[in-house]
Structure 1
Amino acid sequence: MFHPRLAVSAFSASLLLAAAGLGATSSVASAQDVIRFGAPLPITGPLAPEAVKQQQGYDLWAEQANKAGGIDVGGKKYKVEIVYSDYQSNTPRSVQTTEQMITQDKVNFMFGPFGSGAAKAASTIAEKYKVPMLAATASSSQVYDQNYKYLFGTFTPNDTLTTPLTQLVKAKAADVKKIAILARNDLFPLAIAQEMEKSAKANGLEVVYFEKYAINTLDHSATLSQIKSLNPQWVFVTGYTNDLLLIRKQMVDQQMKAGVVTMIAGPAYQEFIESAGQSAENISSASWWHPAEQYNGKDIFGTTANFVKLFKDKYKLEPDYAHASAAVCGALFQMAIEKAGSLDRDKVRDELAKMDVVTFWGPVKFGANGQINSLEPPVFQIQAGKPVVLFPDAIKQGEFKLGVN
């Protein structure tokens, strides 16, 4: 029988994905010497690939914190324990899971579930119990419009991705006049598509198509055929990894060609690039972080380069923004707790609210609504099977290329 709630320590967390249905509980130290962090994740269901990324980021941070002796709370060291739970890619279940973690598993602090929709829903519970929650993958402004005190997020608003992307295309591809936008009908993908529409119109582009597709749609052929008939020079598609791989395959099947094809958020992930193969070439995208960043942080990871090295050593792959955001959420909690010198939730919340610090992720400062407002997210393009940063200039690795078959 499947048990959706699983509590595992940072050291046994790797068992989670291999045996999600078995249920397991372990601790890293006696209860009074442990800080427990709740991490609801979509371990099963269509969003499972995203869960892997967040878990890897959390686990790397917990491992580093515990190797250093734990989190210093007023002169006493506490080990990190992460309580994982599978909400099966179901947003209402993520809300239930969050409440169970707070009331039954007695976690001290919460990581938000994956994505803007689930994070917004679950934040209501964290607010109810006055438990600080750090959301690693929630960018939509609608997540932060509730005037909550206990919710914080490490993604800048969606327009910080679409605006520089649009300006780059306009500068490098003057012939692009028409754009077609296709969005997964889910909070983050739809919100970023709407921001893309605003950015396109503000920069003089004609939006010839804007439609939503339902979650779990498997056949996009009719939609793609309609887009093809409109002959847009730019096709912009939002969704998650599995959605975008499927849409890209069906675009190839229909021999759709455009000067610019942008997909958010899949191309930031190595598994998207590998699965799409040649069809990933020249697809553009944007994200909140890239391994090319060169920050010298005050967090446990220190430099961006050190984080990348530690991640590669542990997982044998290049980290992407989802891994890094999860890891920095742990690091930020650690910094806030140590600064507060206490596990008192209100004191830790206050330290997060006034935080102004550089980390391996970049400069971190939260706005009045709890959303980070201090980053300049990179725009990139898949070239020769690798993401190449095009913006900002400080970490630029190449030039924008036209033409996607």
Structure 2
Amino acid sequence: MVRQAAVSNTVAAVLMVVLLAAGFAGGYFTAAFTGTGQTEIATKTEYVTVGGTVTQRITITATTTVGQTSGPPLKIGMTISKDGLFAPLTSGYESFNREWLNWVNNVRKGVYVRDLGVRVPVEIIIYDDRSQPDLAIQLYTKLATEDNVHILVSPYSADIGIQLIPTVAEKYRVPMIMAEASTKDMWNKGYKYVVTSMVPYWEDNQNGWSASYFDLQANTKWAKTIAFVGWDITWAIDTYNSGKSLARKAGLEIVYDQLLTPGTTDFSGVIRELRRINPDIVYLAMFGPVNALFIRQAAEAGYSPKEYHVIEYGAGFVKSLGQLSERVTSEIFWTPSFKYYQSDLLVDLMNKAGLSWVDWQWTELRMIIFQMIISAVEEAGKLDREAINTALHNLQIMTVSGPLIIGPQGYGNIGLVAIQIQNGRIQTVWPRNLANATYLHP
């Protein structure tokens, strides 16, 4: 979620592209199937033009899950970031995709397509966008026009995602589900080929990103003052502005308010000011690894507020900070305390993928997206982009995070709950009916 100018557009020499598929089209790769429920891996090399002038050599790896399905595959396209700023936040999705593919193709036996009268296999085509906006646009164009996927799943970052809607989804009329990439300006332009499960989190009501957290503060009433620090980027600004309004409604006095240039990693000046002002809560609206960097720099400078609240923690946050992560609060769309549809399956897939819930925040959004895709395709009854898009815009289904209804503008109603890191674990602390632990505060 960084502005394009803040992200390096230097193209890496080699891109790893993973196609996780069932029933991958024969003839493109040379390898023999190994049997039902098994996988085959093959590679090939080709060249793609990135940024209009730079030709890069890429290695494509195809992983095919062989199941008892028939018919042409349902093709899902996406990028993840194996390198760059977003790698600690998204690289684990590759192993999660693999485990979900194994389940959908070999346990569920594919997705039923009414017009074909059969269950078809699912294929996921993934490219590495290296956290670079220009590269992401080129790769999503390739997914839409060359790979001919039926559905696109956005990359991490609203600042990349918002560029993909007019240039790819709307231009080529391919439905795109926004994952960790929703922002206010996506939903006021009349776009027709984009949806998300998330609430309009930029609002200063119960939909707000930190609404659950500030409701918790209004109920506990221990804190009196709060400071806001964030990067000046779309997602963070949406959350930052909503958070300030919600903080006031919760009775908190905002004693410090500073948006920083994207890419800022030296927080010494801000930390000196916070030591002088001494707010009860410091609210950090930056990426997870950057929030961790801020907390560590503050500790090294001898500063520690009564509580940190971060809008994201992500991979390595707890491990890198150790004891400094204790009692840090944040929010999330699902925790193991939820007992909604397929929550046990999500836990099982994460375990098989080797993903710790402490590290892989937002994996639940990927699970919700897969639930959306299955429901939309089976409702559409055909492997047709327009029919699938219509079905996505009319979804009313149960998900791991509860009931999902897609509204007229394309966004959903899945909101966030407040969590706290306690003894190295993520605990749900609010709302009360979903809490599995007591909120710890001074």
**TM, length-normalised to structure 1:** 0.88
Question: Could you tell me which residue of structure 2 aligns to residue 300 of structure 1?
Answer: none
Q: CA deviation at 1:322?
A: 1.3
Distance 1:8 1:31, change over 3 A: farther
The answer as to whether partners of 1:376 and 1:392 remain within 8 angstroms in 2 is: no
Q: Does 1:128 align with 2:155?
A: no
Please tell me the residue identity of whatever aligns with 1:151.
V
TM alignment of 1:1-400, pairs within 5 A: 2-4=13-15, 6-10=17-21, 23-26=59-62, 28=64, 33-67=72-106, 68-74=108-114, 75-124=117-166, 125-158=168-201, 159-174=207-222, 176-266=223-313, 269=314, 271-295=316-340, 297=341, 303-315=342-354, 317-318=356-357, 320-373=360-413, 375-400=414-439
Cα distance in structure 2, aligned partners of 1:22 and 1:93: 13
Larger Rg: 2
Percent sequence identity is 22
Pair 157,123 (structure 1): closer, same or farther in 2 beyond 3 Å: same
Larger deviation, residues 251-260 vs 107-116:
251-260
Residues 94/12 of structure 1: CA separation in 2 closer, same or farther (3 Å cut): farther
1:156-211 CA deviation, whole Å, 9 max, x = no partner?
2324332221121232133x222111112221122111111111122332222222
> What are the Cα deviations for residues 9-34 of structure 1, in whole angstroms up to 9, with x where unaligned?
2467999xxxxx86114374899622
Give, in whole Å, the separation in 2 of the partners of 1:332 and 1:106: 20
Whether the 8 Å CA contact 2:218–2:251 is kept in 1: the answer is no
Letter in 2 for 1:231: N
**Residue 145 of structure 1, CA deviation:** 2.2
C-alpha distance in structure 1 between counterparts of 2:190 and 2:264, whole Å: 34
Deviation at 1:69, TM superposition (A): 2.5
Whole-angstrom CA distance in 2 between matches of 1:316 and 1:211: 34
User: Partners of 1:307 and 1:13 in 2: how far apart?
Assistant: 25
Give RMSD over aligned pairs: 2.6
Higher helix share: 1
The 10-residue stretch of structure 1 (392-401 or 188-197) with the greater mean CA deviation from structure 2: 392-401
Residues 313-336 of structure 1: per-residue CA shift (max 9 Å, x gap): 332533754112112212211211
Question: Higher strand fraction: Structure 1 or Structure 2?
Answer: 2
Q: Deviations over 1:123-156 (max 9, x none)?
A: 2220111111111213432332222121111222
Which secondary structure does the structure 2 equivalent of 1:282 belong to?
A: coil
Q: For the residues of structure 2 that align with 1:144 and 1:5, how far apart are their CA atoms?
A: 32
CA distance in 1, matches of 2:423, 2:42: 32
Q: Is there any run of 5+ residues in structure 1 with no aligned partner, and where?
A: 16-20, 298-302
Change (3 A) 1:342 1:106: same
- Against the structure 1 CA distance between its residues 55 and 279, is the aligned structure 2 distance closer, same or farther, given a 3 Å change threshold? same
Instruction: Give the secondary-structure state (helix, strand or coil) at the position aligned to 2:296.
Output: helix
Measured in 2, the distance between the counterparts of 1:143 and 1:254 equals 40
For structure 2, the 5+ residue unaligned runs are 1-11, 22-38, 44-56, 202-206
Contact 1:140–1:192, Cα closer than 8 Å, also in 2: no
Distance 1:355 1:105 in 2: 26
Distance 2:337 2:126 in 1: 30
TM-score norm. by structure 2 comes to 0.81
CA contact 2:247–2:253 (8 Å) conserved in 1: yes
How many residue pairs match? The answer is 389
The structural deviation recorded for 1:376 is 4.2
Distance in 2 separating the partners of 1:352 and 1:14: 33
